[in-house]
Amino acid sequence: MARGGYHGKILRVDLGNGRLTTENLDQNLARDYVGGRGLGSAILWNELPPQTDPLSPENMLILATGPLNGTGAALSSRYEMVTKSPLTNTILSANSGGRFPIALKRTGFDLVIIEGTAQQPCYLWVDDEKVELRDASGVWGMDTHQTTERLLEETSPQASVACIGPAGERGVLYASVMNEMNRAAGRGGAGCVMGAKNLKAVVVQGTHKTPVADPEGFQEARKNAQTIISEAPITKNALKEYGTAVLINIINAYGALPTRNFQEGYFPDADSVSGETLKELFYERSVGCATCGVACGRGTRTASRSGEGPEYETMWALGPMCGVNDLELITEANYNCNELGFDTITAGSTIACAMELWERGYLDEATQDKIRDEVGGELRFGNGQAVLKCTELIGRNEGFGQMLAEGSLRLASRFGHPELSMSVKGLELAAYDPRGFKSMGLAYATSTRGGCHLRAYFVGPEALASPYAVDRFASEGKAALVILYQDLSALIDSLGLCMFTIFALNPEHYASLLSTVTGEPLDGKAILRIGERIWNLERLFNLREGFTREDDTLPRRFSQETLPRGHSKNQVVDLEPLLEEYYRLRGWDPEGVPTGQKLKELRLKA
């Protein structure tokens, strides 16, 4: 019998033989890992053989909901795509919002596990208990918008679609899975895994309500959380007014907005590519996920097209990171990424890496000629038209786009300068220079999926004084705080909640929501222990795949090159003392391996 928060069922899909089976959810595993990222990662750890090729039929793709999906809790429409990353070879959990997560939960399945490779393009259609694999040859080659429209016609106008575009079909290593056309499970290449499996889309709808064990207690917890979120400054005002791109001017003022491939931290033209300017020139409407009153998404329109975004990370990656100050070109490039289906952060960072390779004279003459012919000029910082053209080439995996489609580390290594890839474990860093935000340096270096800001979004305390202010240049106490945020982030991703709740809620709030849904008493300490278990399991996965302490590092630029100007001028990152303290507080040995005692505490087996 299902507990509160769960339907108690898993759909397993074998694309190789077309077998569709229903399994019971392991309730003990759900207690230990909650759902979403945690539960999906636990299943991947238990079932995926070590050293599996991410693009082989043996790799698994897990669509995982959380126990708060479908309950009406504020900001509770997030789900996870869990797999082994083709970009990094790490464990991957990519998160997305919109309507799809709740629609997936309403099918009556808590998770969908997809294995094997189909002989022909197909899509999965789940309508409550009715499950089918259907021919997708008619939509293969279509972009994500066209695919979504066609599959809603073929299934139901009320359904929700998560699909890949040409980037996923053609093997771009950081291809995304797009739902509601413009919402992305973006980082690490889950869309590439879908493409390798000949799976074009997952289309879902259902009528199953998420059971709640203590309805009265849950309503009190839900209303309390909603009130706090609606009153917290970041979720009440800034995100509503300007979306995530409100951060452009803020981070630039700190001198930590990565510019020209992290060569600088200050972009003189930041205001021209800011959230304020986006609202003035291209904004049409605010867009929110289901159950969200913040609505940080931006519906936008340029002179020729319309869509959603760009969000902060995208605006930065395709803008200041590449030295570009033309917001219309950035917005158009963002539309390309969404429609063709690939990660904007890795795309922009890889283009910026190529620009630095060009300007330093590291590209051979034949490659330079190829680029000139395909992008219509030199690939130098500030060339917005080149950025726009590169997004087209990446999405089609054509011409020079074939090199860009492999990510910045492979690109820079190809030309003998891997140090110009601003990545950790092969995943490009996000829009916060660790020389200006020291916690982010440690968070990047130790992230279980590579250079990710969302595995410990410590920019809140260091840049926004939310929920409290922390000295961004200080090292003392930072390791403990990064661990807290990593464990809490793992828990939030497992509940099915938006990471922005971290600006308002504390562990006791999350515990109250989960305990009233499931009927099992939990407090903040127990919640954080679950997050710690998830984090350590992800660490074990990466260790099994061959990652070591040597991979918990940053590009040498951050330790050897100071920022030349701005309010983080002359700063570098001294990572080693932070890393040593981090390992010690984690209960890991000096090589970053969880000790036997720590595994025993968390009921884990290496």
- Could you give the CA distance from residue 345 to residue 320 in angstroms, rounded to a whole number? 12
Compute the distance between CA of residue 211 and CA of residue 370 in angstroms, rounded to an integer.
58
- Distance, in Å, from the CA atom of 357 to the CA atom of 379, rounded to the nearest integer, reads 9
pLDDT at 407 over 80: yes
- Number of C-alpha atoms within 13 angstroms, CB side, residue 500? 29
Cis before residue 461, ω within 30 degrees of 0? no
Provide the Cα torsion 556, 559, 562, 567; round to 10°.
120
CATH class label, 434-503+523-602:
mainly alpha
pLDDT tens per residue across span 193-234 = 999 999 999 999 999 999 999 999 999 999 999 999 999 888
By the 8 A CB rule, do 229 and 293 touch?
Answer: yes
d(CA 339, CA 147): 10
Given pLDDT bands bounded at 50, 70 and 90, which one contains residue 464? confident
Task: Write the DSSP string, 77-101.
Answer: --EEEEEE-TTTSSEEEEEE-SSHH
Query: What's the mean per-residue pLDDT of the chain?
Result: 96
pLDDT bracket for residue 2 (50, 70, 90): low
- What pairing do the DSSP bridges indicate for beta strands 160-163 and 199-205? antiparallel
Query: Is the distance from CB of 259 to CB of 266 less than 8 angstroms?
Result: yes
Q: Are strands 122-127 and 199-205 parallel, antiparallel or unpaired?
A: parallel
504 vs 416: CA distance, rounded Å? 46
pLDDT at residue 434 tops 90: yes
Cβ contacts of 302 within 8 Å, gap of 6 or more: 282, 328, 331, 332, 335
pLDDT of 59 reads: 98
pTM for the model stands at 0.97
Tokens at residue 64, please?
């995982």
Is the four-CA dihedral 521, 527, 532, 538 of positive or negative sign?
Answer: positive
One DSSP character per residue, 284-298 reads: EEEE--TT-SS--EE
Task: Report how far residue 443's alpha carbon sits from residue 457's, in angstroms, rounded to the nearest whole number.
Answer: 8
The H-or-E segment that residue 24 falls in is strand 19-24
Instruction: Please give the structure tokens belonging to residue 139.
Output: 């939509």
Q: Is 228 exposed, middle or buried (0-12, 13-18, 19+ CB in 10 A)?
A: middle
Two tokens, residue 187: 């980082």
Segments making up each domain of the chain, as ranges: 9-205, 245-424, 434-503+523-602
What are the distances in angstroms from CA 173 to CA 105, 176, 425? 28, 9, 14
Residue 121 clears pLDDT 50, i.e. is over it = yes
Write the pLDDT tens digit of every residue in 552-566: 999 999 999 999 999
Query: Within its chain, how far is the Cα of 457 from the centroid?
Result: 12
Q: Which residues pair with 588 in a beta bridge?
A: 594
Q: What is the CATH number of domain 245-424?
A: 1.10.569.10
Query: Which H helix or E strand runs over 9?
Result: strand 9-14
Strand partners, 162: 179, 202
Q: pLDDT tens digits for 244-283?
A: 889 999 999 999 999 999 999 999 999 999 999 999 999 9
pLDDT surpassing 60 at residue 1: no
Which CATH number is 9-205 given? 3.60.9.10
Cβ atoms 104, 64 nearer than 8 A: no
- Identify the H or E element spanning 538: helix 524-544
Q: Percent of the chain, pLDDT > 90?
A: 92
> If you compute the radius of gyration of the chain from its CA atoms, what whole number of angstroms results?
22
- Scan for tokens 């590579």, then name that residue: 450
CA gap 238, 248 in Å, rounded: 12
Token pair in block for residue 113: 């596990």
Pairing of strands 91-96, 177-179: unpaired
H-helix or E-strand spanning residue 112 = strand 111-115
What's the 3-state SS for 29-50? Answer: HHHHHCCHHHHHHHHHHHHCCC
DSSP-derived secondary structure for 564-577:
-SSTTTT----HHH
